[in-house]
Amino acid sequence: MCLACGSAGLGGRLPGKFVYSHFSDDLELAPQRRLDEVVALSPEEMARASRLVSGTYNELLQTAASLEDDGYRRLMTECIARPTVTFLEMYPTDQDRRRLFDEMVKLGFFNAADDPDHVFPRGHLKPQSYLTAPSSHNDFYNAFPGGLALTVAFNIRMADAYTQNYRQTYGLPVNRDLAVAALLVHEYPKVWLYQWQKDGSWLEEPRTVYDDTWHAHCIYVTAELMHRRFDSRIVMAMAAAHQLSALEASMDGRNVVAKWRGLERVAHFIKAAAVLAQVDPVDYGLLEHRNGDLVLAPQPAEQWVTHLADMNWPYAMGGAHLYTHELLKQTAADDLGLAGPDLDGLPFNQLKNYVWSQLGQIPLYEILVREGHEAARKTIARLVSR
């Protein structure tokens, strides 16, 4: 029996690695720049030079204009072009923020080793716009000027597909405006938190719930919309975007034991945000009393669409970023002469910011896996020379 081919006695050669289609030679790229020119570019200059970034930024503005809900439309447009984070107005002095910080530490939402200036960096009223903001930490995904616009525009397209399919397959009256606005608004505290530094890197999110650095924007934006008194539907979408489907599965003999931790985690996010916004989450319509605890009620399709569409990051991070970052390191050393501190600071940071912003991490990754290292290296050389 040939287990590899699934039939007995067929024999023959094994197929080997599949040859996928190639596309790098057909790419229309920006004109080549010297490395010293790239190093001198500002985040805004990189973003405006990129058809990918400027196209997705303008797409977001067009999408915002298409919303039927007046409040969501205005909020989405503001978050793209003129963002501001206002809930900290309730804490105008350093003493006010220290008291808030201490309360959040006491409740387990912040880490005592941090401080108010770290968890609440300055500049919340006049941050950058979606045009220049990166999407994530320096070592995560779409980590370049305009990466936030790219991430959100793609996620909104995913949400539109989910909405259409739930409508057509099940006949559900799923509202499009909610998921579209929620996916963009949910991310917008990043324009404040990810502040650009002189070496081409940026500040990252502080530790918050579960003592990690991935959820600060989630609880901050939930608090922000609570502070602005937006309806409980879109506030719920802020809190539910990350963890609604979190599953803890284990085995009991041959039986699978499934615990849906996402429901309690979303409730945890809401509790943290409610402290920041000084509101009662039950009166707000977000949580309910059950068995002596505040818990999440079952959520409708709109909330699941928002959560499911916020899911391009595993491919962008676990595939594209993981491999193209090392590719750029090697190319910087072999082709552009970077060595030592230059491979960990300004020259390299600007190189990767520029290449990713002009081409995108995912296309560069696909060139690498489909066509090989040499094709990927040549594509980088078409953008940046020594």
Residue range 177-236, pLDDT digits in tens: 999 999 999 999 999 999 999 999 999 999 999 999 999 999 999 999 999 999 999 999
pLDDT tens for 323-352 read 999 999 999 999 999 999 999 999 999 999
pLDDT of residue 273 exceeding 70: yes
| Residues contacting 231, CB < 8 A, separation 6+ | 71
Cβ(32)–Cβ(382) under 8 Å? yes
Q: pLDDT exceeding 70 applies to what percent of the chain?
A: 98
pLDDT of residue 8: 52
Please provide the average confidence, as pLDDT, over all residues in the chain: 95
Span 152-170, average pLDDT: 98
Cβ(231)–Cβ(284) under 8 Å? no
pLDDT of residue 147 exceeding 90: yes
Span 74-91, average pLDDT: 97
Neighbours of 177 (CB within 10 A): 19
pLDDT of residue 285: 98
pLDDT of residue 78: 97
pLDDT of residue 10: 73
Cβ(191)–Cβ(130) under 8 Å? yes
Give the C-alpha separation, 131 to 82, whole Å: 11
Q: Which amino acid is at 4?
A: A
pLDDT of residue 139: 86
List strand residue ranges (DSSP E) for 228-386, in order: 248-252, 255-259, 288-290, 293-295, 384-385
pLDDT of residue 312: 86
pLDDT of residue 5: 54
pLDDT of residue 85 exceeding 70: yes
